[in-house]
Every structure is written in structure tokens, then in C-alpha cells.
Amino acid sequence: MAVQPRVIPPPAPEFALRIAALPVDRWTKCLQCGAFIYYKRLEKNLKVCPECNFHFRMSARERISFLLDPGSFQERDAELTPGDPLRFRDSMAYPARIAESRRRSGEREAAICGTGSIGGYPIVICALDFTFMGGSMGSVVGEKVTRSVELGVEMQTPVLVCCASGGARMQEGIVSLMQMAKTAAALAKLAEVGVPFFSLLANPTFGGVSASFATLGDVIMAEPKAHIGFAGPKVIEQTIRQKLPEGFQTAEFLFEKGQIDLVVPRAELPSVLKKFLAYHVKPAVLRAPVPSPSPSPRASTPTRAAWDCVQLARHPDRPNLSEYINALFDSFTELHGDRHQRDDPSIVGGLALLDGRPVMVLGHQKGRGTKQNIERNFGMPHPEGYRKALRLMQYAGRTGLPLLTFIDTPGAYPGLQAEERNQSEAIARNLLVMARLPIPVICTVIGEGGSGGALAIGVGDRVLMLENAIYSVISPEGCATILFKDSASAPRAAEVSRLTAQELLKLGVADELVPEPPDGAHTDFAETAASLKAALRRNLEALASLSGSELIDRRYARFRAFGSFSNGVQEQ
């Protein structure tokens, strides 16, 4: 359906008058801590209790007003009014209930939509209003969300939907249920044209709203302590006949379970959103990259014994991903969770700027010291880590962001739960998806490249290796145990496995070596990071001119070429 961009005049005067006439207590009692707060202080604090940080509900109009740049909001489709498809009547007729909600809320419906800007970046916004029939989604809410998304498609402008809803509107029955499919279908079109969708979940977000557009965001943010879920806690308790744990279905709970990217305090939302919007500005308007040192491949560095490389690649002081992220990028915003299981801390990913150019970054994260390494599981991802990586790769692929991956893992985690959650499929799926990403993909082995767990984020157009990094199908110790029946033969296994960067360059697995200081990256991190940054910049520049299909074709050819055989008889 073609979208007719139209600016609708402000709401009818009686609504505006009603809003102005709403008497508000001069002092408001906090619903959580019971403190009395001067109402204007509460307003100044964006309706967050200054004593206990309780986030009071905000109307859709208040939310739009504080999120968008002053004066930038242009409301659209304000005139939309719901029908009564079922001629529904409970304790009162549906039209009477609508009229009552209008009187109470001062709004025509439970959603307000339009265009505006955040920090100067244009955005299409649709905000749901819980004060209007619990923010329930009937035809009008569904239509406004859909039209907002369609407008995003037409204007190639990011879309933000602010959710606060009990779910589908019962009074419109099956018609309201269909809004779930309608909004999701519109979002599929938005994804196809590569425009990002941001979803902000406020208290509460449940039912048909949470099971449609609310949880389909490329980035999903939630306000602290917001209650979010499909079925309400009381329904669940009654069904399973068990008490639910403290904090169940809160934003923090969802974050822990990998379902949302961020929990953002209300006051920080405009700046966080501005940052996300900045990541989606087309690179053409950004500053040109700084000329980088002369290109390699470089294969002339003094050869080091393979086992020495293994020791350096595993050195406890060797720089890890987060240290590279700090050194390489102008800014980085981490995204969390696989949307299904949890946020695996052994994979870190997010949006970043490399010399002002937006990129997606992801990689294995080891810790520094025992405590951190336990937290990061020694850089050994579970399936949910790979699924988080998959989600971010797909996000980058959809929105045209180059993907930079950093490999540093002993391998995928070999554990009971990892197998239960299908570790193999998680790795395999990434190989499949990476092969067809229509964006430049540059993979860098910064430490250990442990087998399939490394390759799961290693299918790139260019594979760089730090000089002392290693990459192999099995650890030298594993190889020694299996083939030499003696783990003490690991140095010999390392040698014959040809796992060093030098060897891999010769084999064509690596395309370029990034120089390290003579005694390893950890002895002069700044120098190593500068070399890596220059290499990334140069390779990114070289790939930038290729189309998506060219990149895919070349990547296919690159990996298609691996193999060593002769007609019918495989070489030894």
C-alpha cells in the first residue's frame, strides 16, 4: 500500500483542554517507596522517583516530547478512529468504552505516531499509551504501527516504537489478533530494505504486542524494572501452580535471559538512541579515512617456532577483544543476548565507528586473570554465544554495515548444556549465513583460532592474522594425544599442524599478517593496535567498492578453493 505522507493537525481542542484540565497532585506519592515528591520535581526527573528510581508510567505524548528534539515532532494519522467489527459489549458497549478512554486520557487512541528527530537524526516514531485502554492493540494501534513502518520504508528512515501495552484488544477480537501479523509483515519489508527498527519496552509490555513488533527490534531496549512477557505472571502462576521467582519478567530478567539488548534508564534514552541512529548514517557523509601504511601481505618476519607462537597466542597478558575495541574504534555500543537463551559473555558484539565509519564488531572475549576468565568462560562460547553472533551478523547484513570479527578462542565450549542446545548447529548456521552476507566481512585472528569455534565467526572476505596468532583444527595438545598418544608431544604437534600465521598465509587461509612487536603483542599494545587498525582500514577500503553480490561471489570462490586433491586420489 502506498503511504500518503500527510501532516495531521493537532488533536481537537476538547482533547487539548481536557489534558490541561487534568488536576495533578502538587505532591505525588511514589508507588514503590511511598515517598512524597513535589510533582514538578518528578516531571523534571522525567517521572522517575528521585528516591528509589521507580519509573512512573508516561503517556505517549510525554514520551515523544522527551525523546525527540524540541519542536521536531510532526504527528500523522491522528484522525484514525476504530470501528466496532464485533459489535462488542461487555459491561458497556465498545464505542462507549472508547469514548470513556478518550475522556480520561485526552487522546483519540492508544497510539500516537509521526516523524521527528533525535539529536538531529531523523526518525519515524510510534508510541503506545497505556492510559488508553491499557495501550491495547486494536485496528488503530496496528494500523499506526504499520503505517509508521511503511513510512520508514518509504523515507528510508529508522523506526522507533515505544511499547506500553497489555496486548491485543479483546473488544476487537480476531481483528486485533490479525494486527500482530500485519505489523510483523510490515517489519519484514522494513528489514528487506535495510532500515533499522528500534523497539523500546516500557512497563508493561505483554501479550499480542510483545509477541509481535515489540520483540522484533534490531535493537531492543527496556526501561528498568519494566514488566515484559507474553503471558501475565498471574496466568502463569495459575497454570503451573508455582510461585514465580522475584524479578520474573522484569527488564533485568529479560536481559539476563538474552531477550533484550539493553536496560536503559529513562534519562539516558535520548542519548542512547542518538548513538544508535548515528551508527546508521551512510558512510558517504562521514570523514574520509586516513591514508594507511603500505599494504602487505607480509611474510618476511623472522620465523618463530610453532610452539613459541602457541605460547604467545595464549600469553596471559596478550591483548583481548575489549582492549582492541577500546583502541580501534571511536565509539562502541555493545548489544546483548541471542533473544532465546541468555547473553553469552564469551562473545561480545555491537555497533562501532571505525574512523567515523559505522561497522558491526563481534568476537571472542577472554578475560584478564582467573576471575574474569571464569566469567568469560575462557573465551569458549556456548551455542547462545554463536546465536548472538548470528543475530548481529544478520543485523549488519540487513542494514549494510561492514562486519569485523575478532577470533580468540581455544574452541567452542565442550559441555553438556552446549550439546543439549545444539552447539554443532549453532556453528554450522553461522558458516551458512556468513557465506551469504552481502556486506564486507573482515576476520582477524588476534590470539587463538581454535577449530570450529573460531571458524564460526571466521568466514570472511579477508582473513587477517596477527603475527603470533594461531589457527588450527585442533589444539596441539589434542592432536598430540590422538595422533602421538602423548600430550607431551604438543610442540611437535604444533609444528606439524602448520598452525602459525606464517604457515597459514602460505596455505591461503590467511590473506595478510599484522605485525607484532618482536616479543609479542602484549609488549607494545599501542603499536600492535595501530598496525591492526591500519590493516582493517585498508582492507575495508578495498572491499567498500564491491557490491553485495560481488562480495558473496568472491567469498564463495575463496572458500570453494580450499582443498587439496588430485583427480580421484587425495594428496597426503
Partner 1 sequence: MKQGSLEKSSTTPTDTSTVASCYAAGLQALEQGNVTAARDWAERCGALPDASRDSRCATLQGKIAVALGNFQEAANHFRTAMQLDPRELGLARQLVEVLQINAQLGEAVKVLENLAGKDPKPDVFIDLGYARLANGDRAGAREALERAAALQPQDKVVLFSLAQMYQAIDEPGLAVEILSKNLRSEGTSRLLNELAGLFLRLHRHRDAEETFRALGERDRAAELIAQHGIIWCRIKQTDWRRALEVALDATKLDRYGETTKFLTYAKDRFFANPLDASEREAELLRCLHDEMDEYAEVHSSDPIVA
Positions touching partner 1 (CB under 8 A) are 22-24, 26-29, 31, 34-36, 38, 40-41, 44, 50, 56-57, 90-92, 104, 130-131, 134, 234-235, 238
φ/ψ (deg, to 5) at 458: -120, 10
| DSSP type of residue 261 | S
Least distance to partner 1 from the beta carbon of 356, Å? 32
Let me know the angle formed at the C-alpha of 385 by 307 and 451, rounded to the nearest 5 degrees.
30
Least distance to partner 1 from the beta carbon of 41, Å? 5
Which residue, 56 or 279, has its beta carbon nearer to partner 1? 56
Which residue, 97 or 538, has its beta carbon nearer to partner 1? 97
Least distance to partner 1 from the beta carbon of 542, Å? 49
Torsion angle defined by CA atoms of residues 145, 150, 156 and 161, in that order, rounded to the nearest 10 degrees: 10
Which residue, 50 or 400, has its beta carbon nearer to partner 1? 50
3-state SS track over 59-92: CHHHHHHHHCCCCCCEEECCCCCCCCCCCCECCC
Least distance to partner 1 from the beta carbon of 255, Å? 23
Least distance to partner 1 from the beta carbon of 407, Å? 49
Which residue, 57 or 342, has its beta carbon nearer to partner 1? 57
Which residue, 92 or 299, has its beta carbon nearer to partner 1? 92
Torsion angle defined by CA atoms of residues 490, 496, 497 and 498, in that order, rounded to the nearest 10 degrees: 120
Q: In Å, how far are 18, 25, 151, 167 from 77, measured between CA atoms?
A: 20, 32, 12, 21
Q: In Å, how far are 22, 59, 337, 521 from 56, measured between CA atoms?
A: 17, 10, 27, 50
Least distance to partner 1 from the beta carbon of 472, Å? 57
Least distance to partner 1 from the beta carbon of 292, Å? 46
Which residue, 47 or 382, has its beta carbon nearer to partner 1? 47
Which residue, 244 or 507, has its beta carbon nearer to partner 1? 244
The span from the CA of 386 to the CA of 355, in Å, is 27
3-state SS track over 182-201: HHHHHHHHHHHCCCCEEEEE
Q: Any residues with CB less than 8 A from the CB of 432 and at least 6 apart, and which?
A: none
Which residue, 90 or 420, has its beta carbon nearer to partner 1? 90
Least distance to partner 1 from the beta carbon of 58, Å? 11
Least distance to partner 1 from the beta carbon of 44, Å? 6
Which residue, 29 or 436, has its beta carbon nearer to partner 1? 29
Note the residue count of the chain: 572
The three three-digit cell numbers of residue 350, written as one number: 555491537
Instruction: Compute the Cα dihedral for 373, 377, 378, 379 and give only its sign.
Output: negative
In the block, residue with C-alpha cell 575463496: 558
Which residue, 132 or 213, has its beta carbon nearer to partner 1? 132
In 3-state terms, what secondary structure has residue 529?
helix
Strands 403-409 and 441-450: parallel
Least distance to partner 1 from the beta carbon of 179, Å? 22
The three three-digit cell numbers of residue 498, written as one number: 602448520
